Structure 1
Amino acid sequence: MTTLNNKVTAMNKLAEIETWLPANQFSRVHRSYIVNLAQVQAVEKGQVYLKNEKIIPIGRQYKEHFMASLQRLTINGRQ
């Protein structure tokens, strides 16, 4: 696995990588994306706006879990 410009390139399945990351800091938002919850600036119209100005789509099957993870982070005063 390598990192370049804040992107991770890996030959592993995203589901496997997801298990390596702390669940209270990262959340799957799409079949192709996992985001660092601390980098979320806004959520609007099915998209995640990150602090680095990237826009990531939210997959329907991941939305409920992602929103709950984001809410837990906000309630715990970390964002």
Structure 2
Amino acid sequence: MEEAEDFGITLLRRIKRLLRSEGQWNVKHVPRECNLIADQLAKISLSWQTPLQVIEVPPALVATVLQNDSF
């Protein structure tokens, strides 16, 4: 668990550095209901053993959301 915390802290530091390097940022909250793919991926990522995953085929839950999504 400590490794995950270290990764989170490192990620936050990188984000802060990136934010400082740019002149202006616009941050917007998107409700979970409006971004179901990101919500499903976030839930699935909790079971991953490594911080980086390359997904070539959408997981079943994500594929279902994609099929039901109306553009």
Larger radius of gyration: 2
Give the TM-score of the pair, scaled to structure 2. Answer: 0.26
More strand by share: 1
> 1 or 2 for the larger relative contact order (CA 8 Å, sep ≥6)?
2
